[in-house]
Structure 1
């Protein structure tokens, strides 16, 4: 079964939603048959790489809320994250462009280290003091810690066109699927789950998708075996009775 997760490193609910989904996946009886792929979605696609600002002022400007309201929202997110066993800094975080991070995630996908990198990026952005924005060497360190080659990561970051098409393709597909926010989970391109739902909802979605994904069951008459058929080795010859 194939699960695609559209998300953004700057999205706190993506951070929480990933943990909730993984809780459901860990308990899923067929988890070893589930392939998870992370897809790109930028919440702030027009933000320039050097345009970095603290989260609280960003929230007040973008949503027209007071600083007190923005801080209360961050405190609530901290509580939600803690309930999932996640660390979350409710103050003094930065916000900026995530385009380079998404490009690195496509490199990581090709190298089989995508989940390791996205987890590193989430942790660094939401739980650690050093900012992940505007510092290519910080991203290289996180990539190396995820198992990527440092020089290869630097080469990608130095070339703005590297994996840019892949990022834009993901974002275009999200729009085609009707996703106007993240996290957005798509199971076998048949079922969608929007938002950081409780683990129980993800568990139900996995079960439902698996039920429709299960192999075809053959109907065999009780009184007969397999009827004659053709296959790679030729066609069965009817036997005279």
Structure 2
């Protein structure tokens, strides 16, 4: 009798207004595509808000305030734009917005279909980062969700479910205990990778996971965003 292959879980904490998170997502996906055990990996999208209870504002203004001076903000935006372009992503900071992404995270959690969920997550990044669409207005979120193929039932669930908001807050509390910013990747509950790592680092992490190497306390550390700002 054939022994079933082991299933692995990668939990990803990120925020749609985190400048590094879309880059990290794209690099992880490239690494996963090269990973020999990719069909055995379950990817869970976890919620993290960089700006809980914060009213929407232009991204440029938010970064300048959080980083303390315009020169640091400009340098960070230039770096992110350059890295994004190398990964095929179009960052337009002049039209991006920053704020509390609770509705966007709950909307993702309301989608049960994994294919639609994956499309929605990508479109939330693309529409907000490249096209300047609001993630803080429900009519804008509904338009993005419908374009991603999300059902009306899932959209209605997102706006009405208390349990999904509790789940979102639970994700945030767990991430806070890990003591890192986002993006944060936890591999099979064994070790973590933080930041927009190179594809090779994500592939190395996937291989470690497959080898069942428990490296407690070990971590790969890269560019992350926390509630106080983003590191280069």
Whether TM exceeds 0.5 here: the answer is yes
Residue correspondence of structure 1 range 75-94 to structure 2 within 5 A: 75-94=78-97
Quote the residue 2:66 is aligned against: 62
TM-score, length of structure 2 as denominator length: 0.83
Distance, in Å, in 1 between the alignment partners of 2:174 and 2:57 is: 29
Aligned residues: 205
Separation in 2, partners of 1:155, 1:207: 37
Query: C-alpha distance in 2, partners of 1:151/1:104?
Result: 11
- TM-score under structure 1 normalisation? 0.80
Q: Tell me the equivalent position of 1:71.
A: 74
SS in 2 for 1:72: helix
Q: CA RMSD in A?
A: 1.7
Q: Could you list the per-position Cα deviations for residues 138-187 of structure 1 after superposition, in whole angstroms to 9, with x for gaps in the alignment?
A: 11111122221135414523x373511110111112123x1420010011
Which structure 2 residue ranges, 5 or more long, are not aligned?
1-7, 214-232
Rounded to whole Å, the distance in 1 between the matches of 2:172 and 2:110 is: 17
Distance 2:183 2:11 in 1: 10
Match of 1:99 among 86, 98, 102: 102
Instruction: Name the structure 2 match of 1:37.
Output: 44
Any idea what SS the aligned residue of 1:92 has? coil
Q: Distance in 1 between matches of 2:13 and 2:181?
A: 9
| TM-superposed deviation, 1:57 | 1.3
Map 1:1-241 to 2 at 5 A: 1-47=8-54, 51-66=55-70, 68-108=71-111, 110-112=112-114, 113-129=116-132, 131-150=133-152, 152-157=154-159, 159=160, 161=162, 163-176=164-177, 178-212=178-212
Deviation digits for residues 101-143 of structure 1, max 9, x if unmatched?
A: 01011112x23232211101000111113x2233211111111
CA distance in 2, matches of 1:210, 1:155: 36
SS at match of 2:95: coil
CA distance in 1, matches of 2:13, 2:199: 17
Assess if the C-alpha contact under 8 Å between 1:140 and 1:154 holds in 2.
no
Runs (5+) with no aligned partner, structure 1: 214-241
Structure 2 CA distance for partners of 1:123 and 1:3, relative to 1, 3 Å? same
CA contact (8 A) 1:156 1:162 kept: no
Q: Which has the larger radius of gyration?
A: 1
Deviation at 1:53, TM superposition (A): 1.0
**C-alpha distance in 1, partners of 2:140/2:67?**
29
